[in-house]
């Protein structure tokens, strides 16, 4: 599909323009704020205007290699250059409020060297009275300048028309009939989520550094495994919720937005991969993240990452330790499979995909009512349970939905049902119909 890449130095409004262009795809919106450098990773979205569609790519701030002060900025620059190489059209976004600066001239020169189609767009022109600001930008050596305001929408129709003009006829991608499974990678900051995705796709798609909180947005990446497509969603590290209730600085404010964006990524996902640090073990925050996944009834796979840092002679003992810890601390998702992996050495990472496929098959499995009631007739025939002096009888069960498999159980007294009864029914269904890895939901109704 035709790809439009937004490039510019930090804080010129790239993410705001990205959000306006993909306004129909709310779940892909980038975090925007006046804090420079908020966007660190590449973010993809799909824009649709009338009958034309195109991909929009939001990038981190573009600057010259000489000005890259640290490893993160150098990786940001690599990612922007990778996005430019994939672009059909580049939008060089400039700050109409601040005016042209030497960095803009140098960026324009570098972009011209790519030989790509370029639109030179002056942002922060909120109304016609500020059009005189555009004249400052003739210094970059172009005549066709487009004034816009990404915040108010001024000039956006003209910009869209220019983009549509650049899209060749017949380039529209045919819509795929297949449903691409969505896999959200979640976990605390700095447990290796982005490294896992980079290892799976074989590109430096995410910025990776030892600094916690490097990923602050939720990023979508397409991945293929034996010809099957998967959408990987990398999320910002989720900190304690109490962390977000404090009086916060601007930097922490962006982290707060990232937290809620990660929660939305879990909502979007078909399967959630919870990454746990093999060195630190399962901590309280890992339990809380698993609890969020369980509440939303999503499929869950647990990855114990950084296994390369466990000495070989200790791995059998450590594996037994984690097996016991998962049963003890994550008992409420005891159906979730787990793997020990090394994102750095790419050890056992591809085992995720067969697990995803198996989990999804179970997640969408439907059991006939006759089979369910045959099971209940065999296992619970003439069984009468007592609860608080009340006689409890199970009458009838049926499956009402999938994703997750949801069952309604009819009883004589709804108030008599206790958690251990539900656990018993859960185990009965799982063993009889091979629900190994998926969450299932059991609802109770009283038969009048």
- The domains located in the chain, with CATH, are 3-166 (3.40.50.300), 182-363 (3.40.50.300), 369-446 (3.30.300.20)
- Dihedral sign, Cα of residue 11, residue 14, residue 20, residue 23: negative
Q: Is the pLDDT of residue 178 over 70?
A: no
Is residue 241 scored above 50 in pLDDT? no
pLDDT of residue 174: 42
Which has the higher per-residue pLDDT, 212 or 11? 11
| Beta-carbon contacts of residue 138 (< 8 Å; ≥ 6 apart) | 145
Residue 69 has a pLDDT of: 53
| Between 50 and 208, the higher pLDDT residue | 50
Helix (H, G, I), strand (E, B) or coil at 24: coil
pLDDT value of position 259: 52
Residue 216 clears pLDDT 50, i.e. is over it: no
CA-CA distance, 242 to 140, in Å (whole number)?
A: 48
pLDDT at 244 over 60: no
pLDDT on residue 10: 83
Of residues 307 and 240, the one with the higher pLDDT is 307
As a whole number of angstroms, the distance between CA 343 and CA 302 comes to: 14
Over the stretch 89-113, which tens digit does the pLDDT of each residue have? 999 999 998 888 888 888 888 888 8
pTM over 0.85: no
| Lowest mean pLDDT across 40-49, 183-192, 383-392 | 383-392
Residue 1 scores a pLDDT above 90: no
Mean pLDDT of the chain: 79
More confident residue, 42 or 321: 321
User: What is the per-residue pLDDT for 73?
Assistant: 53
Cα–Cα dist 429/438, whole Å: 12
Look at residue 192 in the predicted model and tell me its pLDDT.
87
**Percentage with pLDDT > 70 across the chain:** 77
Pick from 12, 204, 203, 173: nearest CA to 91: 12
- 287's CB contacts (< 8 A; 6+ apart) are 329, 330
Predicted pLDDT of residue 306: 95
pLDDT at 110: 86
CB under 8 Å, gap of 24 or more: what pairs does 191-194 form?
Answer: 191/237, 191/275, 191/276, 191/277, 191/305, 191/306, 192/275, 192/277, 192/305, 192/306, 192/343, 192/344, 193/234, 193/235, 193/237, 193/275, 194/234
How far apart, in whole angstroms, are the C-alpha atoms of residue 96 and residue 138?
Answer: 12
Count helices and strands (H / E) in the chain.
11, 17
Q: What is the largest CA-CA distance in the chain?
A: 89
| 87 token code pair | 């672009």
Q: For 310-338, how does the pLDDT look when each residue is reduced to its tens digit (9 = 90+)?
A: 999 999 999 999 999 999 999 999 899 99
The yes-or-no verdict on residue 62 having pLDDT over 90 is: no
Residue 234 bridge partners (DSSP): 185, 219
Comparing 248 with 97, the larger pLDDT belongs to: 97
Alpha carbons within 13 angstroms on the beta-carbon side of residue 405 total: 26
The CA distance from 376 to 53, in Å, is: 52
Q: Indicate the burial class of 186 (C-beta count within 10 angstroms; 0-12, 13-18, 19 or more).
A: buried
Confidence check: pLDDT of 350 > 70: yes
Report CA Rg, the chain: 26
Lowest mean pLDDT among 40-49, 123-132, 140-149, 211-220: 211-220
% of the chain surpassing 90 pLDDT: 34
Which pLDDT score is estimated for 80?
72
Between 206 and 338, name the one with better pLDDT.
338
* pLDDT surpassing 80 at residue 125: yes
Q: How confident is the model at residue 398 (pLDDT cuts 50, 70, 90)?
A: very high
């Amino acid at each position: 599909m035709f790809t439009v890449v937004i490039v510019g130095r930090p804080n010129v409004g790239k993410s705001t323009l990205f959000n306006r262009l993909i306004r129909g795809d709310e779940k892909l919106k980038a975090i925007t704020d006046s804090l420079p450098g908020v966007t660190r990773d590449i973010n993809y979205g799909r824009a649709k205007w009338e009958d034309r569609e195109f991909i929009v790519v939001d990038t981190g701030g573009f600057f010259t290699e000489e000005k890259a002060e640290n490893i993160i900025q150098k990786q940001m620059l690599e990612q922007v250059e990778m996005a430019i190489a994939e672009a059909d059209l580049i939008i060089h976004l400039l700050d109409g409020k601040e005016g042209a600066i030497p960095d803009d001239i140098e960026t324009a020169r570098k972009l011209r060297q790519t030989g790509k189609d370029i639109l030179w767009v002056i942002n922060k022109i909120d109304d016609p009275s500020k059009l005189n600001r555009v004249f400052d930008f003739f210094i970059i050596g172009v005549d066709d300048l487009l004034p816009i305001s990404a915040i108010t929408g001024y000039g956006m129709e003209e910009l869209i028309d220019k983009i549509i003009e650049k899209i060749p006829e017949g380039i529209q991608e045919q819509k795929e009939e297949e449903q691409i499974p969505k896999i959200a990678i979640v976990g605390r900051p700095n447990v290796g989520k982005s490294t896992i995705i980079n290892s799976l796709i074989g590109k430096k798609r995410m910025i990776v550094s030892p600094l916690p909180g490097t990923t602050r947005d939720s990023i979508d990446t397409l991945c293929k495994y034996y010809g099957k497509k998967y959408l990987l969603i990398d999320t910002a590290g989720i900190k304690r919720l109490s962390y977000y209730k404090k009086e916060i600085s601007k930097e922490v404010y962006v982290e707060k937005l990232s937290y809620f964006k990660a929660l939305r990524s879990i909502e979007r996902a078909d399967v959630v991969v919870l990454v746990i640090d093999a060195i630190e073990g399962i901590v309280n925050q890992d339990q809380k993240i698993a609890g969020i996944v369980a509440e939303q009834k999503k499929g869950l796979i647990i990855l114990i990452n950084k296994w390369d840092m466990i000495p070989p002679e200790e791995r059998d003992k450590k594996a037994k330790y984690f097996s016991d810890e998962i049963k003890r601390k994550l008992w409420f998702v005891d159906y979730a499979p787990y793997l020990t992996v090394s994102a750095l050495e790419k050890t056992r990472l591809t085992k995720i995909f067969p697990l995803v496929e198996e989990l999804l098959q179970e997640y969408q499995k439907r059991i006939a009512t006759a089979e369910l009631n045959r099971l209940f007739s065999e296992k619970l025939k003439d069984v009468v349970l007592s609860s608080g002096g009340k006689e409890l009888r199970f009458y009838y069960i049926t499956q009402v939905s999938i994703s997750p498999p949801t069952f309604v159980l009819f009883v004589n007294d709804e108030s008599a049902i206790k958690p251990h009864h539900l656990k018993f029914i859960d185990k009965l269904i799982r063993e009889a119909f091979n629900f190994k890895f998926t969450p299932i939901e059991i609802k109770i109704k009283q038969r009048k």
